Amino acid sequence: MLDIATRIALGPILLAQAARVRRTAVQLPEPHGPRRGVVGAGENTLGLLVTGDSSAAGVGARTQREAFAQPLAERLARRLRGRVRWQLIAASGLTSEGVLQRVMRDRPRPADIAVVIVGVNDISKDVPLAQALRNRQHIADWLRVHSGVRHVVFPAVPEMEVFPALPRPLAWYAGQAARRNNRAQRRWAASLEGITHIEMDGIAHAALFCDDGFHPAPALYARVADRIAEHLVALLQADDPNGFKRENS
């Protein structure tokens, strides 16, 4: 209730700060490099899909090798001692609804696991949380039916109050919105089969952002990839051996 009261009291300041951030934000390109490939070697191949917004796309890195999707695939391949066939479908500015439309349009190849990075744009564009969660459910359902995905993972929104681009009190309010998103997503995912929420608390620090003050620098992408790889390996090891489709190499 405190953050709602604060929004009412500080509404004009928050709106003015948000407008200034949008007006002065540095527009960075998505990184160069392939958006699909195969890494690692071994008897089995795991299919990995990464989809989502600008952070999924790797904005803030120069190449996909320094971004998120390819490093995540490489970490999984090393930890699983197998091959990972990865693909990336992502674009800057996408809300949960935008991600759904993007995967429906681009129709990803079959995959075992999908990592969906989304939420910051839902918050910045004032998408109601219930609507955002419904769209995330639609993403998971679509990927299961059309790409054969067995498990869909939704990382938490990072602690937005540490984003260097956000002035106070806007940064405080964004951080509160991020925590509301994460609490609701955690409860939602816990009630469903084949969907998990990954906590991201403590992983982001102001010094680990790129020049725009909003997107991760390569060092932060590496930390995120480490945490998500650890989560995915634990999922695979805990699951029934036949719980994830693996192709023979």
User: In the prediction, which pLDDT does 242 show?
Assistant: 45
Distance of CA 17 to the CA centre of its chain: 25
- Report helix angle 96-106 to 129-147, nearest 10: 20
Containing 151, the helix (H) or strand (E) segment is: strand 151-155
> In Å, how far are 22, 31, 162, 175 from 19, measured between CA atoms?
5, 26, 19, 17
Q: Judge whether 13 lies within some domain.
A: no
The residues that bridge with 116 in the sheet, in sequence order, are 51
The residues that bridge with 155 in the sheet, in sequence order, are 198
CB 152 within 8 A of CB 118: no
Residue 173 to residue 169: CA distance in whole angstroms: 6
Q: Judge whether 3 lies within some domain.
A: no
Q: What is the mean pLDDT of residues 36-55?
A: 95
CB 109 within 8 A of CB 149: no
Cis peptide bond N-terminal to 218, omega within 30: no
Amino acid at 163: F
Q: Judge whether 44 lies within some domain.
A: yes
Judged by DSSP in three states, 128 sits in: coil
DSSP per position, 27-55: -PPPPBS-SEEEEE-SSEEEEEEEEESHH
Q: Judge whether 58 lies within some domain.
A: yes
Q: Judge whether 9 lies within some domain.
A: no
Residue percentage of the chain with pLDDT more than 70? 91
Instruction: Tell me the residue range of the domain where 233 lies.
Output: 31-248
User: In the prediction, which pLDDT does 6 show?
Assistant: 58
- Indicate the pLDDT class of residue 245, thresholds 50, 70 and 90: very low
CB 201 within 8 A of CB 224: no
CATH of the domain at 58: 3.40.50.1110
Average pLDDT over the chain, rounded to whole? 90
- Could you give the number of structural domains in the chain? 1
Q: What is the mean pLDDT of residues 57-75?
A: 98
User: In the prediction, which pLDDT does 249 show?
Assistant: 37
Nearest to 85 by CA among 119, 63, 108, 61: 108
User: In the prediction, which pLDDT does 13 show?
Assistant: 79
Per-residue pLDDT at 2 exceeds 70: no
Q: Judge whether 55 lies within some domain.
A: yes
Q: Judge whether 75 lies within some domain.
A: yes
Judged by DSSP in three states, 187 sits in: helix
Per-residue pLDDT at 243 exceeds 90: no
Per-residue pLDDT at 193 exceeds 70: yes
CB 79 within 8 A of CB 240: no
Q: Judge whether 21 lies within some domain.
A: no
pTM: 0.90
Distance of CA 137 to the CA centre of its chain: 15
- Indicate the pLDDT class of residue 27, thresholds 50, 70 and 90: confident
Residue-wise pLDDT tens digits, 118-134 = 999 999 999 999 999 99
User: In the prediction, which pLDDT does 241 show?
Assistant: 53
